[in-house]
Amino acid sequence: MGRVEGKVAFVTGAARGMGRAHAVRLAQEGADIVAVDLARNEPDLDYRQGTPEDLAETVALVEAAGRRIIARAADVRDQGALEAVVAEATEKLGGIDILVSNAGIANQNPALELTDKQWQDILAVNLVGAWHAVKAVVPGMIERGRGGSVVIISSTAGLIGAPNQAHYTASKHGLQGLMGTLANELGTHNIRVNTVNPGMVNTEMAMNERLLRAYIPGVENPTLDDVARVFGGLALLPVAWVEPEDVSNAVLWLASEESRYVTGIAIPVDAGLLAKF
């Protein structure tokens, strides 16, 4: 049997990138999937967001793994939209056992140059969106009385200060506080709550040209070779980034019974970036 055989996992931000990787990895290990994504471009971001076509590709990949999937376009800022998807999924697939709150966005500016809109957009998606996902999914977990696992995708920026991303960093620090409070409140229901904290990941959100130009000054069109040169020495392991699937493997472990007594912790997947002196 797979490590999450017979379970249902609700994944936000699932059209592409890490969200898709989480959905596919959980499906490979036996879970049916509820995939949610905004599935449209948002203004003021520096990279392409997921599309309906991307979400359809996630559906195809999950089905190729032999699992059922419900995929819907929904905004994590809209509590009612998430609750509608949860109600549909509960009717069609049964109760939800796993929540992977993955939806997140980012852009860059020095703290004193951030606009109110930048601040509010990032906090609304990254932090309020996670809270909405929890409020939509967790009451059903409690009602079923079978426990569950909530995995919140945070960041190494949730554990340190990241320059030029005060709003993003604040949102991710907020997720750490949310996780700790939920772990305390939900433990009596046998619901575990943890964060996974990626470092640099090979997705468009982390590897977009504007962000790389900010960290690699003097290079107009940074390549992956430039990224490897600049970031390759920052971590303990000899890599400049991790792949989405590396993050998904940590998500899978936290979703499975292998971590049945693990709650209230942050798991960096950062090649040793935070541990390096």
Single out the residue of 57, 4, 9, 46 nearest to residue 29, CA to CA. Answer: 4
Beta bridge partners of 153: 196
Say how far apart CA 76 and CA 150 lie, in whole Å: 16
Strands of the 8-12 sheet, one edge to the other? 69-73, 32-37, 8-12, 98-101, 148-153, 191-198, 266-269
Q: Is 261 a catalytic residue?
A: no
Radius of gyration over alpha carbons of the chain, in Å?
18
Give the contacts of 120 (CB within 8 A, at least 6 positions apart): none
* Sign of the dihedral defined by the CA atoms of residues 219, 50, 109, 277, in that order: negative
Query: Catalytic residues, which ones?
Result: 168
